[in-house]
Amino acid sequence: MAESENFDNPFDQADLVQTELRELMEQAVGSTLPGGGLTPSLLVHQVVRDLVERRIVNPADRAGVLAEGAATARKLMVERARCHGGAQPDEASDSCERSRRLLDLKSVPVDILDLDDALEKLGEERPDALKVVEMRFFGGLTFDEIAAQLNASPHTVDLDWRFGRAWLYRFLSLRSDNAHKHN
């Protein structure tokens, strides 16, 4: 593809990026997520790097695409978990699929569906915190990149990050405690 063709047409580029991201990430998620190894942020970075190298994405837009990729990654992972894991994760037959959807949130294994649910609730409480966590965890953006994307100060982004993290930690801990009680 010609450089100008892609870079000068943001709408086409956005569509293309979405499609490319989805396609590449479908492959990546399918091949790597079970058992871990490739975490969402790495996955998104890999995809975006590929797009930049193929000159589909302007390097100057990289952060924006990463942010977009973060949301796509989350969506794909959840879709995939729902399709393959079913809606009843506690069924014994699902144990294999359940293990496939476990994300290692750095020594805190969490079900992607639980995390997604927690993120939804966080979004109701503080939408900006949700965006920060999504961009940071799923997209691997730096705080400055996030600040630029949200047009916020790094200080506010830091507060949102800490709030989001603490909120999710508490939410997931409570859920985990309840699950243990029921078991």
Partner 1 sequence: MFQDGQLFKLFAEGIQSDPVVWESLAAGLPEELRGILRELLEADQELSCKQSQFLEPAALEPALAETAAGPQSLDSTVARGQGSQQVPVPQLLGDYQILNVIAVHGQGIVYRADHTRLNRQVVIKVSKNPLDDQAQRVLIEEGRSLATLSHPNIAQVYDLRLDNGRPCLVMEYIEGRNLADWQGDRPAPPSEAARLVRTLALAMQHAHSKGIIHRDLKPANVVLRASDGEPKIIDFGLARIRTAFHDQPEQSSYGGTIAYMPPEQAQWLLARMRGEPMDDPTTAHTDIFALGAILYGLLTGHRLYAFTNNSEGLELAAAGNFDTGALNDEAIPKWLKDICCKALARNARERFASAAELANSLERKRSTQGDSVRRRPAYLVSARWGRFGCVVTLAALLLWAVVPIGYQHYQSRVREIASTSPPDSADDSQMHSAGPAPPESPPLSQPLARQAARVSYEHFGITAAGDTTSSTLFDNGDVHEQDAIRITANFPVPSYCFLIALNPPGSEQPVQLCFPADDDTVQPLPMDRLVYPEQSGQGFYFSDGAGQQIFLLVRSKAPLPAFRDWLIGVGNELATVTHQTSGIWYWEDGELVSRHRRHQRGSVRDLEGTLAFSQLCRQIESSSAHCLVDAVTFPVLPRPTPQFP
Q: Considering beta carbons, is residue 41 or 72 the nearer one to partner 1?
A: 41
- Min dist CB 173 to partner 1, Å, is 8
- Min dist CB 39 to partner 1, Å, is 4
- Min dist CB 124 to partner 1, Å, is 9
Q: Considering beta carbons, is residue 94 or 116 the nearer one to partner 1?
A: 116
Q: Considering beta carbons, is residue 22 or 126 the nearer one to partner 1?
A: 126
Contact positions toward partner 1, by CB under 8 A? Answer: 39-42, 45-46, 48-49, 52-53, 59, 62, 66, 105-108, 125-126, 129, 133, 136-137, 139-140, 142-145, 153-155, 158-160, 162-170, 173
Q: What is the spatial distance between Cα 105 and Cα 8, in angstroms, rounded to a whole number?
A: 38
- Min dist CB 37 to partner 1, Å, is 10
Residue 44's nearest CA partner among 70, 63, 6, 74 is: 70
Q: What is the spatial distance between Cα 165 and Cα 47, in angstroms, rounded to a whole number?
A: 25
Q: Considering beta carbons, is residue 97 or 158 the nearer one to partner 1?
A: 158
Q: What is the spatial distance between Cα 173 and Cα 183, in angstroms, rounded to a whole number?
A: 15
Q: Considering beta carbons, is residue 86 or 148 the nearer one to partner 1?
A: 148
Contacts for 34-41: CB closer than 8 Å, 24+ residues apart = 34/99, 34/100, 35/100, 36/102, 36/103, 36/104, 39/103, 39/104, 40/70, 40/73, 40/74, 40/77, 40/103, 40/137, 40/138, 40/139, 40/140, 41/70, 41/136, 41/137, 41/138, 41/139, 41/140
- Min dist CB 149 to partner 1, Å, is 14
Q: Considering beta carbons, is residue 62 or 80 the nearer one to partner 1?
A: 62
Helix 40-53 / helix 10-32 crossing angle, nearest 10 deg: 130
- Min dist CB 164 to partner 1, Å, is 8
